Amino acid sequence: MNEPVFSVKDLNVSYGGNLALKDVSLDIQPREITAIIGPSGCGKSTFIRCLNRMNDLVPGAQVEGQVMYHGEDIYGPQVDPVTVRRRIGMVFQRPNPFPKSIYDNVAFGPRINGFKGDLGELVERSLRRAALWDEVKNKMRKSALALSGGQQQRLCIARAIAVEPDVILMDEPASALDPIATVRIEDLMQELKQEYSIVIVTHNMQQAARVSDKTAFLYTEVDEESMSRWGILVEYGPTGGIFTKPVDKRTEDYVSGRFG
């Protein structure tokens, strides 16, 4: 068994005092694709945003528990969230390239990180890994906003890779894309997991079943008295097991499409 990339223990997240995620504990293995699935509002995005401290940017957000990254708590008192994000890349739901050239988009991260080597070579390598190089190599100085949605998303992946992280977090990376672009992103993820650990949030169960090695199912728990609701981790394990022999009834109902 490899040492896990992330070891999350008793993670509780609340926004402005309202609990959003309760007692989540799980380990994420290196060079695997871990899918986080569950109905809307179950805290999938909240969870993934804890892994690179993006929740710090939400006013009123409070995170309790431990998120060990290679044995170090990223919420530890000595840890700077900026440094965390330089090691843990993120791709968002809507492709969000900067209104800059394709080259400058990929070079953004390395530049702010004080990259000293051959920037052109790094940009090319990142674009090749993101399977975008052949489509853009002749228009590196053109605006990134002129690309198609699928190309923009792969550009965002290239941009995340360029800072040479070892984890890539993907928050519903294909939900704004058409089916063909989605397949390309999924193929790309299979390539990327040779070198990176990937955590993907998706509301598309087929996608989770197709691409991931492990699947975590999050579900909304409701407190009838106070009418408050929060997300809990119901089941976590190898993807095949979650989809074919789920242990929990709620998982079975969800993956068989009975709700959600």
For residue 98, state whether it binds another protein (rule: CB under 8 A): yes
Kind plus residue range of the DSSP H or E element containing 159: helix 149-161
Cβ atoms < 10 Å from Cβ of 237? 16
In the bound state with another protein, the residue whose beta carbon lies nearer, of 11 and 51, is: 51
For residue 204, state whether it binds another protein (rule: CB under 8 A): no
For residue 108, state whether it binds another protein (rule: CB under 8 A): yes
In the bound state with another protein, the residue whose beta carbon lies nearer, of 4 and 95, is: 95
For residue 52, state whether it binds another protein (rule: CB under 8 A): yes
For residue 112, state whether it binds another protein (rule: CB under 8 A): yes
What separation in angstroms does the CA of 113 have from each of 107, 159, 198, 206? 10, 13, 22, 37
Q: From 150, 152, 164, select the one nearest 192 (Cα to Cα).
A: 164
- To another protein, the closest distance from the beta carbon of 239 in angstroms equals 26
For residue 83, state whether it binds another protein (rule: CB under 8 A): yes
Tell how far CA 118 is from the center of its chain.
28
For residue 22, state whether it binds another protein (rule: CB under 8 A): no
The contacts of residue 55 (CB under 8 Å, 6+ apart) are 13, 46, 49, 61, 63
For residue 94, state whether it binds another protein (rule: CB under 8 A): yes
- To another protein, the closest distance from the beta carbon of 109 in angstroms equals 4
The contacts of residue 168 (CB under 8 Å, 6+ apart) are 88, 89, 90, 91, 157, 160, 161, 192, 196, 197, 198, 199
User: Which one of residues 18, 113, 244, 256 is an interface residue with another protein (CB under 8 A)?
Assistant: 113
Tell how far CA 165 is from the center of its chain.
13
User: Which one of residues 43, 89, 150, 173 is an interface residue with another protein (CB under 8 A)?
Assistant: 89
What separation in angstroms does the CA of 257 have from each of 34, 121, 174? 21, 46, 20
User: Which one of residues 17, 99, 117, 179 is an interface residue with another protein (CB under 8 A)?
Assistant: 99
Binding mask 149-178 for another protein (x = CB under 8 A): -------x--xx--x---------------
Interaction site with another protein (CB under 8 A)? 52, 54, 57, 59, 82-83, 85-86, 89-90, 92, 94, 96-100, 108-109, 112-113, 143, 145, 156, 159-160, 163
